[in-house]
């Protein structure tokens, strides 16, 4: 217990300010790359009609994830957004509304729901999976500050604090614990908002995996490698989880790094 507490108070690295300044132009590059990769994405694994819910990042909305949502629907999923407007953080009523939406999707579909969250949205999906693991098929976070303090001095953190107050250190520590379902944490070493180390799952279980991609933070939901990864993860049969390992042309979409931090398959046991 003491070890867990010390980790939660450890100072985490911040994203490089130059990368933050270049977020918008780099996001434009992600969009162009996505269009170029459409022939490859047409070969993505098809879905089984199970329910998928996408939660946007801080200040984002379902409109931001609309293109990704349509892609998942074309693959054969019952994909939808969170329907709660702009994500302004965990304000009063948001979590209860998400819980009700998860229950409604679970009941309507007759099966577990896959949850995908971008940035702050990734923290929501982890909370839902921790509270309702019997309703959640898997959790995928995209550039989410799993280990980063929302009380940091960055502009986004300051705005979050202004709207929601200081982050509860106990809740922050709990968010670092991997949900008891298959969990995938996607990160980019060139993320200009969330430092890549903070977006990785630490001390996970046998069905946890960290996967690196090329690209910006803001463009993660418009990133070709993320789209292929999501198609691969969602297509797995329930209760038959295997680590992600890109093959063929898809290998070039995922970076490999020194020191054993391989983007293609980093399972944490």
Per-residue model confidence (pLDDT) at position 208: 95
Per-residue model confidence (pLDDT) at position 189: 92
Residue 192 pLDDT > 80: yes
Per-residue model confidence (pLDDT) at position 19: 78
Identify each DSSP E strand in 21-135 by its residue range.
51-55, 78-80, 113-118
Per-residue model confidence (pLDDT) at position 2: 35
List, edge to edge, every strand of the sheet that includes 113-118.
78-80, 51-55, 113-118, 136-142, 183-187, 208-212, 266-267
Residue 74 pLDDT > 50: yes
Q: Could you tell me which residue, 179 or 92, shows the higher pLDDT? A: 179
Per-residue model confidence (pLDDT) at position 260: 35
Per-residue model confidence (pLDDT) at position 149: 54
Residue 256 pLDDT > 90: no
Q: Could you tell me which residue, 12 or 247, shows the higher pLDDT? A: 247
Q: Which domains does the chain have, with CATH numbers?
A: 2-267 (3.40.50.1820)
Residue 150 pLDDT > 60: no
Rounded distance between C-alpha atoms, residue 146 and residue 172, angstroms? 8
Per-residue model confidence (pLDDT) at position 172: 63
For the residues 104-120, what does the mean pLDDT come to? 96
Q: What percent of the chain shows pLDDT beyond 90? A: 60
Q: Which range has the top average pLDDT, 2-11, 29-38, 139-148?
A: 29-38
Residue 261 pLDDT > 70: no
Strands 113-118 and 51-55: parallel
Per-residue model confidence (pLDDT) at position 218: 93
Q: What percent of the chain shows pLDDT beyond 70? A: 79
Rounded distance between C-alpha atoms, residue 95 and residue 130, angstroms? 13
Rounded distance between C-alpha atoms, residue 86 and residue 130, angstroms? 24
Handedness of CA 237, 241, 247, 251 (dihedral sign): positive
Per-residue model confidence (pLDDT) at position 85: 93
C-beta separation of 268 from 208 below 8 A:
yes
For the chain, the 3-state helix, strand and coil shares in percent, each to the nearest 5, are 40, 15, 45
Q: Could you tell me which residue, 77 or 120, shows the higher pLDDT? A: 77
Rounded distance between C-alpha atoms, residue 61 and residue 82, angstroms? 8
Among left, alpha and beta (phi > 0; psi -120 to 50; other), residue 248 is left
| Cα angle 22-209-259, degrees, rounded to a multiple of 5 | 70
Per-residue model confidence (pLDDT) at position 147: 77
């Amino acid at each position: 217990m003491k070890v867990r507490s010390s980790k939660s108070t450890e100072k985490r690295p911040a994203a490089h300010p130059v990368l933050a300044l270049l977020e918008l132009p780099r996001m434009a590059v992600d969009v162009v790359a996505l269009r170029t990769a459409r022939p490859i994405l047409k070969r993505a694994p098809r879905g089984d009609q199970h329910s998928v819910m996408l939660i946007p990042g801080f200040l984002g909305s379902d409109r931001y994830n609309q293109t990704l949502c349509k892609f998942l629907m074309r693959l054969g999923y019952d994909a939808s957004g969170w329907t709660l407007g702009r994500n302004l953080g965990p304000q009063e009523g948001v979590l209860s509304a998400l819980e009700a939406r998860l229950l409604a999707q679970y009941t309507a579909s007759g099966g577990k729901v896959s949850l995908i969250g971008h940035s702050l949205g990734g923290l929501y999906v982890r909370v839902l999976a921790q509270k309702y693991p019997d309703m959640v098929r898997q959790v995928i976070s995209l550039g989410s500050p799993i280990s980063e303090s929302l009380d940091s001095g960055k502009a986004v953190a300051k705005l979050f604090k202004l709207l929601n107050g200081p982050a509860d250190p106990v809740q922050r520590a709990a968010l670092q614990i991997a949900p008891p379902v298959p969990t995938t944490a996607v990160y980019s070493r060139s993320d200009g908002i969330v430092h890549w180390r903070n977006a990785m799952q630490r001390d996970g279980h046998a069905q946890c995996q960290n996967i690196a991609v090329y690209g910006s933070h803001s463009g993660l939901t418009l990133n070709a490698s993320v789209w292929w990864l999501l198609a691969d993860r969602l297509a797995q049969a329930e209760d038959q989880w295997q680590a992600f390992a890109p093959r063929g042309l898809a290998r070039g979409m995922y970076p490999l790094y020194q020191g054993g931090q391989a983007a293609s398959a980093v399972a944490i046991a």
